[in-house]
Chain A
Amino acid sequence: MNNAASPQTIDASDATAWAERFRQVFDGLKREVHKVFVGHDALVEHTLAVLLSDGHILLEGVPGLGKTLLARTLAQALQLKFSRIQFTPDLMPADIVGTMVLHEKEGGGHELRFEEGPLVANFILADEINRATPKTQSALLEAMQERQISVARRTTPLPAPFIVVATQNPIEHEGTYPLPEAQLDRFLVKLLVGYPQENEYHDILERTTGASMPTIKPLSSAEEILTMRRIVREVPVTKQVRGYAIRLVMATQPGSLHAPAMINRAVALGSSPRGAQALLLLGKVRALLDGRFAVSCADIRDAALPVLRHRVLLNFEGQSEAIDPDELIQAAVNSVSELSS
């Protein structure tokens, strides 16, 4: 316990040092990723924030925008066991989880051994996840939530840290299967990858069509990632900010006390408590990056769009009017007051 006599002399050196270290790791990773991945600063920041707040990422965008490149670059910079799974329509759950294979014993006879699938790794790139059927997509449910896989009577814990970065094409494209709601809910954020700016095209073409490709230097390790995650969890959240996040999540649920008229009209299913958890975790990362030591309502607001946009399910009216989920979340943000009373 600190025995300081006034607020000016409160010892906050530990927290300051931790926050400084966090920012250094974050900035280093960001710089390294930007060596290959051009532009999209907010996208890279959100990706790293989710990585450091123990979540999974869903990247959505049309083909050719660099979704896979971003995930692969991040994996190289993190020096983690990397596994890339190309989701195809004929992919089966056993193909990614693993299965029991009959082996021949050395002394004669046979035995069944569990052959791990590509899911047993630190960094999973689930490329074009919505090209596989929902049956195979659902094979990720246990892995993403409980960090373990179960095959027959065998349960295998997955290595920590465990991160799934999934990419998907927009649902309107041919040959895609929409992700089940339970699967969507397990992604901490859904980030939209848009087209680059004109000046960014120059850099992209220069780096990708030249004779030499930039190399990625591994900066961080699994232990460092876990330490960063512990620091994130240490950031306190006051009752006012927690209440704000709760009210914001409830505002996305039609029929709730805080839901605005637009939500009641166009939404069939709102966010779950996982949405509130994700808001707070991302808010903590943003507070640390901003040099603050507690989460503010503005942090929650900044995290609202990526966290909540895939947790809001439109009803028929919303779909027929082609309402953008981002508009609904913005309406919810505008309707919720910061004041706790």
Chain B
Amino acid sequence: MIKSASESRVARDFERGLARAQKRVHRAVIRAQFAHAVAWACRAGAVVAGGYAALGVVMLLSGRAQPVGWAVFCLTAVGVMLITAAIPVVRAAVAPPSWRESAERLDLATADHNRIANGLALLDQADSPFARAAVADGWKTLERLHDRSPATTDLRASGTRPTWSAALCIVCGALGIALYAWPLNPLLDVASQGVTPTNVALTSAPIRNVAESPRKTPAPRPALRRERENAPSEAHNDAMIRGSATSRNQLSPGNPRPGNPGVSQSIDRPSAAIGDASGASSRGATRPREGGRQANPKRGKPAAERRQRPLTSAQSSSAVSGGTMGSSAASVIQHDWALREQAAEGDQEETEDDTPIEDERESNRQRGGVQPSLKDRAAAPSRDLGISGDQGPPGTGRGGPTPPKKSRGTASLVLGVPIPDFVRGRMGPGTTKTTHDRVDPVPRDGEPTKSVNTPRRTLPESPTRGELIPPAWRQIVRDYLVARHSADRIAMKNEKAKE
């Protein structure tokens, strides 16, 4: 429908009248968005700083250099926070509230029966006399109240408090700054110190123990035994364990250590390490599968636990990743085989253990013959009590008796006594014949019943059934009800007094 000129003018008049209210609502919306902006900025800052902190921790643990400096970290985090904070504020600033919202908020503040919003909304229904009257009424109200402030309390209340996100942002930021700006050189220096073959062997020694623990270990090679004896102390061993990850970084492929030709291969190429391991096994190491079969997991468990206890996370991670030194390549493979063997044994045990449980469950499910066994898919035996069963294949002229039929129950055990499993009979046996005889009443001897005087009812007529309450309890119940009633009356009086 095309708006007439008068309607357009009325609409323009309404907009002029609502301009001030719209500005105030707009300012309130922008103010409300500031709280949202702070919350979102804190969240974004927490995400960025947390990501950088996680990356820094990973880099630190892996012994690599930090990818960015502290300046980049700070600039990125602050920049993301600023952009995230600016988006809702700019969006609110660019899009002013609608005339309708301004009118509704002005009505809400004046509490004058939505006259302004109704008038504005009914502009396009000017063919109805009531709508025209409502528009005129709305305009009068707007002229009178256009200077009032619109209701914006709900906008203020909707602001979120960025407590948690701010705390998270601060924590992640501090962690990031500590990682990127704090001089962590001492730790890095310790980590980057030259790793001797002895240290490397020490690092890998517990891994071998883990691999060998659940089974009979083959006799350690003399070189490995010597390396274990050369270990200076447990403390030194721990320090080197911590630095094992970083030491791997120091051992560049271009500088293979003497006597350990497989070092660089085992670090950077696990497949090469496996190849080395196959060589090691061919040199006389016991085949891992045999060792696994000989192992008794229950008997070997305490020893394995004892050996696994000093294993650190760095060791375990290196063992799992297969990134150990070349000298321990065979042990890595053994460890891998042992793990597989253990897993296989565990699976076997589970399978053996599961079968009776499954059978028990199955039998429980079928108990009472409620459900047929799914495992028993054979055809049910024929219950036909005939002389012969199926005939032979057609056209061959052959046939003859089939094997004896299975039948059910005790009846079939008694030869020649057919016992049907149903009862013959008639549903309706027919009408019953009734005969009437006229017999005169005959008096019988006996004492006549004595009449009793019924006493007049003494209980009061009341909706409360007092006779249901035992006499001993009557006073207690009455006291209780009176006390409760008086308490209610006091409460009502207090409420009225408050009002």
Contacts and interface: CB of A to CB of B under 8 A. Distances in A.
A234 B196 CA distance: 97
State the majority secondary structure of interface residues on A. loop
A241 B129 contact: no
Contacts of B131: 236, 293-294
Interface stretch (B73-81, B99-107, B180-188, B417-425): B99-107
A220 interface: no
Given A15-B130, A339-B105, A7 B118 contact: no
Interface string A275-292: 000000000000100101
Contacts of B105: 339
A340 B128 contact: no
A255 B125 CA distance: 36
Contact of B6 (A4, A13, A293, A299): A4
Contacts of A11: 129, 132
B6 A5 contact: yes
Interface stretch (B9-17, B280-288, B395-403): B9-17
Nearest to A235: B130
A7 B14 contact: yes
Nearest to A286: B113
Interface in B400-455: none
Interface stretch (B53-61, B134-142, B208-216): B134-142
Given A238-B114, A238-B121, A15 B6 contact: no
Interface in A10-51: 10-16, 18-19
Interface string B113-129: 11101110110011111
A3 interface: yes
Contacts of A16: 133
B351 interface: no
Contacts of B134: 236, 292-294
A293 B137 contact: yes
Contacts of A295: 118
B6 A292 contact: no
B462 interface: no
Contacts of A294: 114-115, 118-119, 122, 130-131, 134, 137
Nearest to B108: A338
Nearest to A16: B133
A339 B132 contact: no
B352 interface: no
B4 A1 contact: yes
A320 interface: no
A339 B128 CA distance: 25
Interface string B230-248: 0000000000000000000
Given A7-B13, A7-B135, A236-B128, A339 B115 contact: no
Contact of A236 (B111, B117, B130): B130
A166 B384 CA distance: 72
A6 B133 contact: no
A285 to B, nearest CB: 13
A250 to B, nearest CB: 19
A6 B10 contact: yes
Q: Which of A10, A15, A341 has the most CB of B within 10 A?
A: A10
B117 A238 contact: yes
Interface residues of A, number: 40
A169 to B, nearest CB: 13
B154 interface: yes
B113 A292 contact: yes
B29 to A, nearest CB: 11
A238 B10 contact: no
A298 to B, nearest CB: 5
Contacts of A202: none
A59 B128 CA distance: 36
B128 A234 contact: yes
A95 B185 CA distance: 102
B117 A2 contact: no
B130 A298 contact: no
Interface string A116-150: 00000000000000000000000000000000000
A12 B113 contact: no
Given A4-B6, A5-B9, A234-B128, A339 B104 contact: yes
Contacts of B5: 5
Contacts of B6: 2-6
B136 A12 contact: yes
B100 A236 contact: no
A10 B122 contact: no
B113 A10 contact: no
Contact of B104 (A19, A235, A340): A340
A314 to B, nearest CB: 21
A155 interface: no
A112 B430 CA distance: 41
Contact of B114 (A13, A297, A337): A297
A212 interface: no
A296 interface: yes
A94 B491 CA distance: 50
A338 B114 contact: yes
Q: Which of B105, B134, B135 has the most CB of A within 10 A?
A: B134
Contact of B126 (A2, A235, A290, A339): A2
A296 B104 CA distance: 11
A8 interface: yes
Contacts of A299: 113
Contacts of B126: 1-2, 10
Contacts of B138: 7
B133 A12 contact: yes
A8 B139 contact: yes
A292 B113 CA distance: 9
22 contacts: A2-B6, A2-B132, A6-B9, A10-B126, A10-B139, A12-B136, A15-B129, A234-B128, A236-B118, A236-B125, A236-B130, A236-B134, A240-B104, A292-B113, A293-B130, A294-B122, A295-B118, A296-B114, A298-B114, A338-B114, A340-B104, A341-B101
Interface of A: 1-8, 10-16, 18-19, 174, 234-236, 238-241, 287, 290, 292-299, 337-341
User: Nearest 10 pairs between A and B by C-beta?
Assistant: A12-B133, A7-B139, A296-B113, A15-B133, A14-B129, A293-B133, A294-B134, A238-B121, A294-B118, A15-B129
